[in-house]
Structure 1
């Protein structure tokens, strides 16, 4: 059930009405309804993988209690590794087994040896990377004595499977979400209206910008050998806005939907394309994943406390692991490696925390220095996205090699280029709106709120009309494959 589908448009108001009226504001009934609704939502994808979600939930619920009750540190560690081992084992089999089997066979063939390791004909369960990380952070926090285990199985199950975040995040923490699930919730009109605005903006980003950019990015990337360098640059830009609007659009819909039920989820995006260096970009892109790797991998490895070499090593580890988390393909690993390289100057010269505030705060335009810093950071990001989108590493290199050729200075041309002009103009308008609203939680959080009511509603109706007008074939969100 996609957020941008008719099914979800019917599902959401039904659950909303039952939640606030049929449960009579009884917390236990509300949580039971959320759990049943979340399992139904997930079963609509493929009911056969429900057992994985439920098993993972019960595993971490039980091991969390056993870690807390264990008398010796040794037993705590044993229970922790049981949870980590089984969770990562499932993730490894479904997501990475074929990659390792094929890579091992190819490696042996380069040495003149033959190996025919069988691959598995399995489907990747949607959301497995996200709900696995929910559970892992929970048991690790119990082991570290940051939290106590939750004995209420319904509340814990809602924490893992809450439907707005179930299939593509944000990756929540028990310290943030569980207290909200355990606390009585009252309907808040202003929070609900704010949620609806965020849903509307998320749908605009997904349907109008991402899905239409995807059409042109696919044409160019899938036939890249036929096009000039300038056209390939345009293709990379289409994908750059596709992936941002696709994933941040999902996150906006998720956060907005959660607000309708009185729950605040972790922010996942903070206008990353306005970043002035790569370090700032990664503080603003997929924030819940970046902070997860920082807290549960980077810091346990030693963080930045052991000197320059340790910082460099740990930075490369988390970026390569982050790339691998995105998918079982060498392109993602190279993408992670590139981002580690790009962030190195900030690490080496200890400038990675220079740009903590939003750019040009309180101003209409950035300074010349900030403008060029944004342009350079954005260009590096676009370059790295080529590897993320390419089918394999050789495709990425051939794509890049054609960009840096004489054909870079030609006029872009590809089938449907005329049709792309309105989307290019809409994307430019989108960038302007994002810039105006960059100091808020999402772009239109405050835009229009103080306008004359007919004008404000005219803006909302314009967005709605654009969504319906530019709706094409229903497209899955990119991050569902991760």
Structure 2
């Protein structure tokens, strides 16, 4: 079920009504209802994968007890079995065809004729997210950061809560489970904040991202017929498309969770206002980058080791992050590019230069230096997005090459879409101090007029129910 579908706007009020008006006196019953609603929400996409989701949930729930109660040797054994189980599930559905095809190509280069057996299977929605939920749960138990949950329903809600099930944010047991295992009371302020986040998320997704999508698709498909400036504009538009698509989804997810009394982890903090690539990754898909930091980068030694090992660890985390997004060399190269951009900052001890508030937090405008830093970071991220967007390496390099052809030709036909991008940047800049507390006008009449205008514009653009980009990961 898509957030931007008519079915969701029937589903959500029904679940909300049952949750707060019928089952308000028992959070246990609320949890059972949330689990059933989450399974229904997921099964609406494809009911065949419900069994895989439930099986994965049961296995990690069981491993949590085995890791907690065994001897040190058994704890480590069950931990690795849990990791192996999740990686097998993820690898089979997401990476099997990639590995067998690449192995056949490698053997062919050695003179052997291999005929790989490729599976015609559909990638289960959300598999990259719910397997990471399970692994982090068992890892936190092994580290002693969390005790296993006795109630299976509570744990299953942690894994399957419908706002975050398909595309995150990737939650931590220590953050979400305490909210699930305690009673909740409806908060009017929290509900209003949730509806505002949802409204802004729908605006970003339906109005901006889905309006940019056909333009981006056309430019990337027919890049050889366009001037370099038009192709570059297409790359810029994709940067905003993927940002509005994914952060729009996150806003809707966070807002929906607020309606049920839950606070999910932050996933975006205005990444295109970053002053270098390190800050960009502290502000883009935060739940994933922090997951790799805590469960892969730091266990490898992080940056607090020799320079050579720090560089190695950086490459590992970025390459794995790229590969997490999809079984294609373009994603691996995309991760490698970000590693190459990050390493000079690491070697120069500037990777933690901007760990505080957003740029110009206490000022209306950035300095010229900060503006230049933001533009450079955005440009580098946009060029890397080319590999993320293209189907193969050859197309990626061809598009980058095409950007140099007749570059100064003004792409008048496509530049009208700046009408959507420019206001987005200005509004984001206005909201930048807190991505959750959207500062709508204080005047009640003006505030409701703003709501109404945004709602009308969303309805006007909601004619295709386009899927979210990160659903494919």
Which category describes the TM-score, using the shorter chain as reference length?
over 0.9
1:458 aligns with 2:444: no
- 1:164 alignment partner, SS class: helix
Partner residue of 1:86?
Answer: 85
Deviations 1:419-452 (A, max 9, x none): x61x32121011100001100124x71231x2x2
- 1:293 alignment partner, SS class: helix
1:445 aligns with 2:438: yes
Aligned length: 472
Partner residue of 1:427?
Answer: 421
The whole-number CA distance in structure 2 between the counterparts of 1:254 and 1:302 is 34
The whole-number CA distance in structure 2 between the counterparts of 1:226 and 1:113 is 40
- 1:165 alignment partner, SS class: helix
User: Does the Cα contact within 8 Å between 1:25 and 1:185 map onto a contact in 2?
Assistant: no
User: Does the Cα contact within 8 Å between 1:130 and 1:166 map onto a contact in 2?
Assistant: yes
Partner residue of 2:52?
Answer: 52
1:243 deviates by: 0.3
The whole-number CA distance in structure 1 between the counterparts of 2:9 and 2:206 is 14
After superposition, where does 1:207-356 map in structure 2 within 5 Å?
207-356=206-355
- TM-score, length of structure 2 as denominator length: 0.98
Deviations 1:113-140 (A, max 9, x none): 2111110010000000000000000001
User: Does the Cα contact within 8 Å between 1:232 and 1:403 map onto a contact in 2?
Assistant: yes
The whole-number CA distance in structure 2 between the counterparts of 1:467 and 1:164 is 20
1:110 deviates by: 2.5
1:225 deviates by: 1.6
The whole-number CA distance in structure 2 between the counterparts of 1:24 and 1:113 is 66
- TM-score, length of structure 1 as denominator length: 0.96
Partner residue of 1:131?
Answer: 130
The whole-number CA distance in structure 2 between the counterparts of 1:402 and 1:300 is 42
Deviations 1:66-113 (A, max 9, x none): 11110x211111111111111110100100000111111122223332
The whole-number CA distance in structure 2 between the counterparts of 1:472 and 1:37 is 26
Partner residue of 1:180?
Answer: 179
Partner residue of 1:468?
Answer: 459
User: Does the Cα contact within 8 Å between 1:25 and 1:186 map onto a contact in 2?
Assistant: no
Unaligned runs of 5+ in 1: none
Segment drifting more, 104-113 vs 354-363: 104-113
1:242 deviates by: 0.6
- 2:407 alignment partner, SS class: helix
Provide the alpha-carbon RMSD of the alignment.
1.0
Segment drifting more, 196-205 vs 462-471: 462-471
- 2:115 alignment partner, SS class: coil
1:25 deviates by: 2.6
The whole-number CA distance in structure 2 between the counterparts of 1:132 and 1:376 is 35
1:466 deviates by: 1.2
The whole-number CA distance in structure 2 between the counterparts of 1:48 and 1:254 is 24
User: Does the Cα contact within 8 Å between 1:269 and 1:286 map onto a contact in 2?
Assistant: yes
Partner residue of 2:3?
Answer: 3
After superposition, where does 1:74-223 map in structure 2 within 5 Å?
74-223=73-222
- 2:266 alignment partner, SS class: coil
Partner residue of 2:380?
Answer: 380
Unaligned runs of 5+ in 2: none
The whole-number CA distance in structure 2 between the counterparts of 1:377 and 1:42 is 37
1:471 deviates by: 2.2
1:64 aligns with 2:64: yes
